[in-house]
Amino acid sequence: MSKQQLNLLKIKGMGRKWLILGLLFTILLLNLGLPTSKVFAQSKKPFTESNLDAYPGFREKIEALRQAHPNWNFTIFYTDLDWNTVIENETTKRHGRSLVPNTKTGEWLCPVCQDPWDTGKWYCASDIAVAYYMDPRNFLNEDKVFMFEDLSYNEAGQTIEGVKRIIARAPYLDAQMIMDAAREAQISPYHLASRIVQEQGNRQEPGVMIAGTYPGYEGFYNYLNVNASGNGEAEVIRNGLQYAKDQGWDTPQKSIVGGAQFIAKKWIAVGQSSLYLQKFDVVEQGGLYSHQYQQNIQAPESECSSIKKSYLELGGFDSNSGMKLNFVIPVYRNMPASPARYPQSDGTAQVDDIVTQDVEVTGSGVQVRAERSTEAEVIAKLNTGDKILRIQKGNKEVNGYTWDKVVIADGRKGYIAGNYVKQIGVISNCNEQVQLTGSSVRLRNGPGTDGTTSVKSLAKGTVATRVEKGKYDNLNGYNWHRIRLSDGTMGYVASNYLEVTETYTGEKIRKDGNNILCEPNVTVEIIKKSYSNAVVKNMNGEVVTGGIATGYTVEIDGRTYTIVKRGDADGDGGITASDYVLVKNYLRKKEKLSDVEKIGADADGDGEISAGDYVLIRNFLREKENINV
């Protein structure tokens, strides 16, 4: 799996298999994403000075490590990010941002995104899988803590002997050259050596990117495969070596020094100074979520194992070994009381057919029946595109069908043949932080007490996110709202047991320099809710009061901003197929875009127009993904 940003291709020589995600998923390595205007109170404190009362399970694990290794230092990184929001951004808000190998099944796989990545080698990860790998408490042990090691330069604990051990099976590498480059860039020489070996492989002879013999690029070297991305082997090599040529890397030393400075500038300098933070971008300076070195959620765990092995070979971690290590441990708001659980494979999931899922009907005149039988009473008929709630997924065949239990719009429950529905993303009409005000409140898989199943009992004070309200009112005497718990579990509770603690309306609009960035559904009315004195004008200078489009302007407090609607590349105000066709043609150099249209075409807000924007706009139209600012 690539170790450079989302879709960077890993070059391990002509004898290794190329990892090519293809044009539809290529994102340029140099992209750091547009800076966010949202201000987080992110901070770091030494463990000894940190207050971890709101973060259960951290203090005990870190104390155990400190007692075993008094020369280890721990810093607590307060991300100030909500746990549920983080998991959502790593999964459902951008499918493919987090991947698992195709050997995984069951709870490992995203229930919505079924498309394979890289010719089937990888699949989109579920929120359960991502939560497990993002929860630091699962890895605060001697074997895995190295994913949190600070990768900055540490003269006291990093030696040339250690570098030599890392590159022992790669004789084409020079330990002193790596040590000097790391010292100059102020990054860990162990990290630099490991990355070179990961990119070029443990082999006796140098691969194509560092042989200096590739036709047209003789005498140029790219030891870290910087910018080596593209659609096809030849394009990958050319892009990587062209970058080396542009940088003047005409010796191995220049390439290693330049690569080290690249890592320092793009990752260490913005605060992503650990394997964990380079995979999971929860650092404000990194842009949040988009600036990630790889998609594989298991990469930090697998890489840190080799780091520990190297340290042990250097003499271990005893105080007299001189090995002084620094670890940065991130914490999040509203984390579950217990560490996120390990995903289960097929046949071993903790919950089999009790679900809370939005589904879409895939046939015309599909009948919803009172019982699991073709002979049962028909209580409703649905057509293609109708969206309903599934609360039980059938696993037994009756009359030739497996029957799913569903809730229709008026709250009635019935059964529908499972082959006529498909799961879709969560249909949400709110995003509010709430807490439970009653004791032992039952979380149900659907609205109402009749025909639903109690999933679990919730304690008073439990914090959750309300994602749906006003849809199932006055059922069994209550209004039923859907909530999401910190571990990703969703279900319904009676609204009178919920109390808003903080409201998240989402970044529907935000200022970015001279622009106002907007989500697809933003109207003049929504803008005025944030800026009451706003005056919106179309491209003819006429005041408008309804919909908006990319290229419109808005006057706020005497200053004029240009409106940019994410996904509206053609400036017609709507998000349609013409927008993603325009993006595709722009990438093929068949169409041109104005400066403001380019920002609108950058649907994912990563600062570049790429095939990822084409895919996001298309998935938005298919109601598989959201476009956010």
- Give the single-character DSSP code of 268: I
Above 90 in pLDDT, residue 426? no
pLDDT tens for each residue of 25-36:
232 232 333 333
CA distance 208 to 218: 11
Could you tell me how many residues make up the chain? 629
Average model confidence (pLDDT) across the chain: 83
315 vs 449, residue with greater confidence:
449
165 vs 384, residue with greater confidence:
384
Question: What number is the average pLDDT over the span 255-263?
Answer: 94
Helix (H) or strand (E) segment spanning residue 229 = none
- The partner residues of 170 in beta bridges, in order of sequence, read none
Highest average pLDDT, of 46-50, 235-239, 246-250, 476-480, comes from 246-250
Above 60 in pLDDT, residue 352? no
- Residue 576 — pLDDT band, cuts 50, 70, 90? confident
- Residue 313 — pLDDT band, cuts 50, 70, 90? low
In this prediction the pTM is 0.54
Residue 551, both tokens:
């290229």
| Residue 230: predicted pLDDT | 63
CA distance 572 to 593: 14
| Residue 11: predicted pLDDT | 34
CA distance 393 to 531: 46
- Residue 315 — pLDDT band, cuts 50, 70, 90? low
Domains identified in the chain and CATH numbers = 354-423 (2.30.30.40), 432-503 (2.30.30.40), 509-621 (1.10.1330.10)
Neighbours of 499 (CB within 10 A): 12
- The partner residues of 535 in beta bridges, in order of sequence, read 555
| Residue 314: predicted pLDDT | 59
How many percent of the chain have pLDDT more than 70? 87
CA distance 14 to 121: 20
Closest CA to 434 of 359, 376, 485: 485
In DSSP notation, 579-595 reads: HHHHHHHHHTTSS---H
Highest average pLDDT, of 23-27, 210-214, 338-342, 605-609, comes from 210-214
CA distance 108 to 128: 7
CA distance 531 to 9: 45
Residue 286 backbone dihedrals phi, psi, to 5 degrees: -75, -10
CA distance 463 to 442: 14
| Residue 118: predicted pLDDT | 67
- Residue 408 — pLDDT band, cuts 50, 70, 90? very high
- Give all strands (DSSP E) within 375-477, no chain letters: 378-382, 387-392, 397-398, 401-407, 413-417, 421-423, 432-436, 441-444, 454-458, 463-475
Question: What number is the average pLDDT over the span 96-105?
Answer: 88
Above 70 in pLDDT, residue 347? no
Above 90 in pLDDT, residue 428? no
Above 80 in pLDDT, residue 15? no
Highest average pLDDT, of 103-112, 207-216, 452-461, comes from 207-216
pLDDT tens for each residue of 283-296:
988 678 988 888 89
| Residue 109: predicted pLDDT | 87
Q: How, if at all, do strands 326-333 and 73-82 pair?
A: parallel
Placement of tokens 């059938």 in the chain: 394
Above 90 in pLDDT, residue 166? no
- The partner residues of 326 in beta bridges, in order of sequence, read 73
| Residue 465: predicted pLDDT | 84
Above 90 in pLDDT, residue 256? yes
For residues 383 and 367, the answer to whether their CB atoms sit within 8 Å is no
CA atoms within 13 A on the CB side of 353: 11
459 vs 230, residue with greater confidence:
459
CA geometry: angle 169, 243, 246, nearest 5 deg: 125
Above 80 in pLDDT, residue 129? yes
- Residue 115 — pLDDT band, cuts 50, 70, 90? low
For residues 170 and 203, the answer to whether their CB atoms sit within 8 Å is yes
Above 50 in pLDDT, residue 50? yes
pLDDT tens for each residue of 439-496:
778 899 999 988 888 788 788 888 888 889 999 999 988 999 999 887 678 999 999 9
| Residue 625: predicted pLDDT | 78
